[in-house]
Amino acid sequence: MSVGCISLQQGFERLLPHYNGWTVCEMLTSGLYKNHIRLWRNAVLLSPTDLRDEGLHVRAEIAPDGRWLCTIVGYPQPMRVQIVEVNDDDEVQTGKVILPPPPVWEVDAEGIEALLPPLRKGGTRKRTRQPKWSVLAEREIQRLCHIGSPLLENFSALYDHIEDHVTSEGGRVPKNKSRFRKEIRTLAGVD
């Protein structure tokens, strides 16, 4: 690990309590390209030019268990592999190779700290604007559709799940429950 560095996932998780996961992803990508946050791949510092040349950017996704995952993706680069064995006894040649391990991505901790909301008197962080409930609900319904959740067939359970999800992500569910339920049915593709 490089001096003063943390893993990209740790940096992402450090920002999650203060911002929405999609916002954190955009903040990290922007910070890398503007060189406000430095990025290391396997303990080698990458410049903003390296990032642009390789088309690297931050990608965030929600795992089926609800955790946020973060990594760097880009254009596939030619891979160097170690050839272990070649078998040319048949018409078709076959070979065994050893693939390199996936890269270890690290960012500087100071750059992550600079993205946190400013401290107020008393040492607490200023609250960020709450995400819109409908956006949070739509993303969660898309995730549920992606994994084929049985919640999509039971609307009372779906309403409770979406309400819990929105509040856990820092949003507020509207007080008008009939409007909330109608919107959920629309997002789920029923109305």
Per run of 10 residues, the mean pLDDT along the chain (length 191 residues) is 80 88 90 91 90 90 85 78 85 87 90 82 57 79 81 86 82 82 80 57
pLDDT at 107: 94
Query: Which is nearest to 106 in space by CA: 44, 52, 47, 55?
Result: 44
pLDDT at 82: 83
pLDDT at 191: 57
Q: Are residues 46 and 73 in the same domain?
A: yes
pLDDT at 11: 93
pLDDT at 38: 93
Tell me, yes or no, if the pTM score tops 0.85: no
Residue 108, burial from CB neighbour count under 10 angstroms (0-12, 13-18, 19+): buried
**Alpha-carbon span 27 to 45, nearest angstrom:** 19
Residues of the domain holding 60 = 5-77+103-114
| Strand stretches in the chain, DSSP E | 5-7, 39-41, 44-46, 57-62, 68-73, 82-87, 94-98, 105-108
34 is a domain residue: yes
Q: Are residues 146 and 61 in the same domain?
A: no
